[in-house]
Structure 1
């Protein structure tokens, strides 16, 4: 302790004093404050402190970028300020007082999807690898033969063997990996309903059970509904009415509606049922009604809403005006990150994967992140003799290229403004190229350079072209601007 005492004293003063701190915590690189009056914070003086790399406000939190030594800074700060640090969850809850309705919705969606995104990323990588094994024909492996007949396309082009056609080992690997892929995508509603109960502070095991009732093997698989005649759909027969036994594998909206219904039912019954018997009857009534509502009302409605959203987005991205849709989305995605509203795209991407077997939206997100990182990379070159600037810009570049753009946006690009716009321009051009080629990802992936691993194999080369554009254009534009304005 003691290394940051002086900067901590000044930060406390510039932030408006102890009485202006509603809550404080820290993450990997940043101090996170909820301020009672954000206007009292003097950002210019705070950013002039030797230990501070930048500041920004997001989701109701005033965040001060310190760097990798933030834990030591935090300890010195709380000792000087005489305040008790709280958990990040507590800070998020306190910060919601400073959020508008749209920020609250985005924040809630982010907290629901954040715990399950790692699994979705893994699933996307697995699907991509399985596509390489089973979907790509290689001329070197010979022409494919089925029942003694050499296979060709309608125009006579030979159909070549995929890896699984000639190797039993890789065929086994391909089949084995689907165990994981199926668990992630087909049973996604379980993760969503669990995450909702976790975020809302209700009984998590009930969320898991509810999710399982949406994907039970007893139900007709969601992927089989379109190919099943109405008369052949199984149903529960209650005599005077029937309920179709349809599953909601990979469906996002039905799972979210069911999950929130369970949460509010549990809260309702906790209020009206005496505590002495609440352990028995609260979970019974809440879960039973939630399952009934899910299969009678919420599931069908959610399915329609989900299909409606995905079809609109997919239609926009495949229409004659797809270039305009792509340009606008590519240009505005980085500003969405600043507001926190970008988290809403996770639900749309996941629904697109469920309905169309892939997403055209997510590749543009990866390209936007790369573009912002490339703008920062230009700043690294321009400020190569500025050791203080490089302490922020080099880690920010790496972070953006790996899919996390906040350090790049708030630590560098927004500070100078022009690099931010250059990144947006490069992102828009790359998005038009990506959508023009019809590039699809298997699912959400790592939103930066490694994102190419989640792209469907037939589109990888085309996505690589868009990636190069998202690297080169922002870099050149930012570099030229920096040279003209003598940035050092």
Structure 2
């Protein structure tokens, strides 16, 4: 089967299992997940979706998320959208999705998922997800430009191809120079305004002529405030636009509303937001430097240990504005390599689980299929398919990430900055994006050693502390239960460890 046919088949298999086209309200994707808005969550057949060969796991959040992995999700999504559009347009009156049967979901699993969803649906967390939704569409460009920047830096250091490096510099830097415009566009789109007006308001931030504008006794600098200023400018533009839509007569709306939106939000940006956002951006950079230079090992331990729970809750993408601000200021983010250690702890834990459960073919098969994506920084399959459903191994995986983060943080404290020129990948996939203040060789060596520490710590913590005797007995018995079934002993162990349900 060709690649195109394979992705079409995956989309066609998923659609009826989520309740059909009429049950789908929105379709989007991030780096690894197909994100669906659904009318009726009860129509979704979770277990059958998880059983599809291309599906690595599912996540229930404000959207229903199907983990397909990088590359695959970008190809399946347009096929899925086309099928939804075609089915909706051709739907007969009697069309309707088949309801899910009660036996397809374990009662306990359904209760745990409902509890976690309710716990996550706080206004603050929903706001963070909206911020994340602004930046997720930008990640492919950030990765591509970051890798080109890394390649260009290598060529410059080696004095190779001097005629090509200016062109690579232009390609790597062009997007970052205009990122405020893209942020403004997606901010307006996310908050219900006209996207192009959001981009227009944010574009004043990167316009060279702002150097002639004076605010708070100082001349502005092009790009001052960066993505934070663009967020604020576009959000203000949305607010002004909505007020205009309510008050301006329809006959002149097309002329008055865009003009007032750009004028009011643009002036507020130039004479207030740019300066304030610039100060906040500077503070973020200084805070990150202070944190790692004064408490590198301790800070790395906390950051590496807490990142997996953020991934589990889908809140890790809320860190994207902070990473982007650091990249704008220093050329790289020192936080991402530390956070990437969480994935190393997860991989080490998975290997320990594989060895501790020699007779559980179900879990071992899942690990074998999810381990290589884990090495490349795609952690959701291992989280949702292995460690989190088992309970205690999720905690020990976090411990592995904590020790790996402490190792990299220690070197930051000693003066060796280990950073990434872009955001998105982790694990082995982060190597092409690494940068620092002491040359690429030392940066790569520290990061690689950090991964090894994370692997080892996650493995040892899980091998020796990840299972009780009862858990080992039940999980190695035949027939072996799948992780999603959460045997009673595992549930008790998870409750004692305080681990959230899958």
Q: TM-score w.r.t. structure 1 length?
A: 0.72
Alignment of 1:453 with 2:475, yes or no, is no
Q: Match of 1:312?
A: 287
Q: Does 1:442 align with 2:421?
A: yes
Paired residue for 2:331? 357
Q: Which residue does 1:189 correspond to in 2?
A: 180
Counterparts of 2:28 and 2:146 in 1: how far apart (Å)? 31
- 2:79 aligned with 1:79, yes or no? no
Residues 1:48 and 1:178: Cα distance change in structure 2 (over 3 Å): closer
In structure 2, what is the equivalent of residue 235 of structure 1? Answer: 213
Q: Is the 8 A contact 1:192 1:252 kept in 2?
A: yes
Distance 2:297 2:96 in 1: 51
1:296/1:33 CA distance change after superposition, 3 Å: closer
Paired residues for 1:215-234 under 5 Å: 215-220=206-211, 234=212
Distance 1:391 1:468 in 2: 24
1:161-180 to 2 correspondence within 5 Å? 163-164=158-159, 167=160, 170-180=161-171
* Unmatched 5+ stretches in structure 1: 1-7, 83-94, 136-162, 221-233
| 1:347-392 deviation line (CA, Å, top 9, x unaligned) | 1111112223322101012221232233234434555664533553
2:106 is matched with which residue?
none
Larger radius of gyration: 1
1:465 aligns with 2:449: yes
2:143 aligns with one of 121, 135, 148 = 121
Q: Secondary structure at the match of 1:440?
A: strand
Match of 1:367 among 318, 330, 341: 341
Residue in 2 aligned with 1:106? 128
Matched residues, number: 416
Within a 5 Å distance, the mapping from 1:120-159 to structure 2 comes to: 120-135=142-157
Q: Which position in structure 2 is the counterpart of 1:223?
A: none
Distance (whole Å) between structure 2 residues aligned to residue 98 and residue 326 of structure 1? 26
Secondary structure at 2:377 match in 1 = coil
Aligned pair partner of 2:406 in 403, 423, 432 = 432
Is the CA contact 2:129–2:318 (under 8 Å) kept in the aligned structure 1? no
Is it true that 1:411 corresponds to 2:395 in the alignment?
A: no
Residue number in structure 2 paired with 1:324: 298
Output the aligned Cα RMSD. 4.4
| Aligned 8 A contact 2:198 2:233 in 1 | no
- Mapped to 2, the partners of 1:291 and 1:64 lie a distance apart of 40
Matched, 1:280 2:265: no
Residue in structure 2 matched with residue 347 of structure 1 by the alignment = 321
The residue aligned with 1:145 is none
For 2:267 and 2:429, locate their aligned partners in 1 and report how far apart those are by CA, in whole Å: 42
How far is 1:265 from its partner? 1.2
Give yes or no for the alignment of 1:209 onto 2:200.
yes
The CA deviation at 1:295 is 0.7
Distance 1:171 1:29, change over 3 A: closer
Q: Please state how far the C-alpha of 1:461 moved relative to its aligned partner.
A: 1.0
Write the distance in 2 (CA, Å) between the matches of 1:470 and 1:249.
Answer: 38
CA distance 1:96–1:117, shift in 2 (3 Å): farther
What are the ranges of 5 or more consecutive residues in structure 2 without an aligned counterpart? 1-14, 88-94, 101-116, 413-417, 477-502
SS at match of 2:226: coil
